[in-house]
Amino acid sequence: MKQVLSILFILVVIAQFQVITVGCANIIAPMGGPKDSLPPQLMEVRPADSTRHFTGKRIVFEFDEFIAAPDNIQENLLISPLPKLNPVVTSKLKTLTVVIKDTLEDNTTYSINFGSAIKDINEGNILKDFTYIFTTGSTVDSLTVSGKVIVAETGKPDSTLIAALHKKTDDSAVVKERPRYITKLDKEGQFTFHNLPPGTFALYVFKDEGGQRKFMNRGQLFAFADSLVNTTEKKSFTLYAYPQQEKEEKKKDTAKPKAPVVKPATNKGAGVGQDKRLRLETNLANQELDILGQLEISFKAAPLKSFDSTKVQFVSEKFEPLSGYRYITDSSNKKITLQYAWVPNTAYNLIVDKDFAEDSLGHKLTRTDTLQFRTKKEADYGLVRLRFPNLDLSKNPVLQFVQGDQVKFSHPFTNNTFNAKLFIPGEYDLRILFDTNKNGIWDPGDFFGKHLQPERVMPISRKLTIKANWDNEIDITL
């Protein structure tokens, strides 16, 4: 009997333990639901989208969730046709209200694109490019104009630009007038104008500085279409952007330059730590010279007032005099270049007398000094052979090796190959410049009065990695 009672006691304890365990499991906090990744959805708008004979001043949008206050609304908001007065946009809870301040034109289709301004208040999910359309006439205009913009110097897109349609087609209108229609470029540089009426317009592209919606003419990127846009014709446009210079700057460039005014050095501060030493810098790296270039000596503080090449000795490692070299001073008088046919892996000395040079501030060397350096070895470079089977030589192509935003080396083609026994190792982007005027460099356009398009550059998608002491042979099909 006692045995039976013991078994029953054990069973009761186990049952109670299970109840406690289940009870403890029930108080664990439940896992959260899925994260909200959907932008606000429009539930109702008053007046309705695509309303005809619109006469109101207020548009009210109701969404399915709470929305945040519109972000950078004047930058995001695109209204076509472009108004003189921007509307006032406010939000409260799930409601967005637009109050029109401008006088609406008769028989005109308007579109309001909110860009990235509308987002929910919790997760910040953006309702991108939400657009509302209405017309003051009986029909909604539905014509479109599309195209693509390429930065001419790099061959790449720039999504910070805007495209603009001007009703006035004279050159000065792009500076003096605000455009009739504007639209933004996407990340691929493509654009589309929607809800256009029949008509003829001038098409431009520029940087929208400060939301002014017009070309400010300050060396900013600019592009123009060669022909006027007829909205009834199905045609896609490709525009090439370049930094358009101000006409005033060009006039200054053509004027006779004035002699620079050099203020004489004063004794103010003399004896109180004033540094009168001539400071110079070279293009050497670890006292090594790139044999594909030349030795450059730069003066940062001020341009040189005098330079006496007879007080500079260019000698070998054993201090034996060398010949066949020359010095070149640049137009700013702040750089001297020593040109010579350098021998790889060779030591040189440049002995500079303390009176070899003086800058416009009266700075000179305090003593005669010697610059010792060595040229790089051939093994420090890579061999490069590039073949371009389908290169069109009639377009005067120039091969550009680019690092960052700088063209490090360029090669005008005479055939469809590029060969270099010695080339500086590194990773390069490649571009092909179509050199219209055959001067070897990229030239921008000039719109005002000339309508001259910029020279074009085609980027090559394949990167080139050049290794030292290595044969780099590649075929590139354009």
In a domain, 19, yes or no: no
Compute the mean pLDDT over every residue in the chain, rounded to the nearest whole number: 87
Range of the domain at 243: 143-250
In a domain, 149, yes or no: yes
The token pair that represents 404 in the structure block? 């960052």
- Spatial CA neighbour of 195 closest among 136, 238, 145, 127: 145
Rounded CA-CA distance 177/171 in Å is 11
End-to-end CA distance of the chain: give it in Å, rounded. Answer: 98
* pLDDT (mean) for 328-348: 95
- Say yes or no: 389 and 305 in one domain: no
- CATH at residue 286: 2.60.40.1220
Rounded CA-CA distance 372/352 in Å is 11
* pLDDT (mean) for 349-376: 94
Split into its structural domains, the chain has a count of 4
In a domain, 395, yes or no: yes
Return the pLDDT at 195: 96
pTM greater than the 0.85 cutoff: no
- Say yes or no: 242 and 149 in one domain: yes
- Say yes or no: 239 and 147 in one domain: yes
Where is the domain boundary, 135, 166, 189? 135
- Residues sharing a CB contact under 8 Å with residue 34, sequence separation 6 or more, in sequence order: none
- Say yes or no: 316 and 339 in one domain: yes
pLDDT, tens only, 430-448: 999 999 999 999 999 999 9
pLDDT, tens only, 33-81: 567 789 999 999 999 999 999 999 999 999 999 999 987 888 889 999 9
- CATH at residue 215: 2.60.40.1120
Return the pLDDT at 34: 62
Return the pLDDT at 175: 87
- Residues facing 427 on adjacent strands: 465
Where is the domain boundary, 197, 228, 250? 250
- Residues sharing a CB contact under 8 Å with residue 404, sequence separation 6 or more, in sequence order: none
- Say yes or no: 425 and 363 in one domain: no
In a domain, 31, yes or no: no
In the block, residue with structure tokens 């000339």:
450
- Residues facing 358 on adjacent strands: 306
- Say yes or no: 310 and 336 in one domain: yes
- CATH at residue 471: 2.60.40
- Say yes or no: 358 and 404 in one domain: no
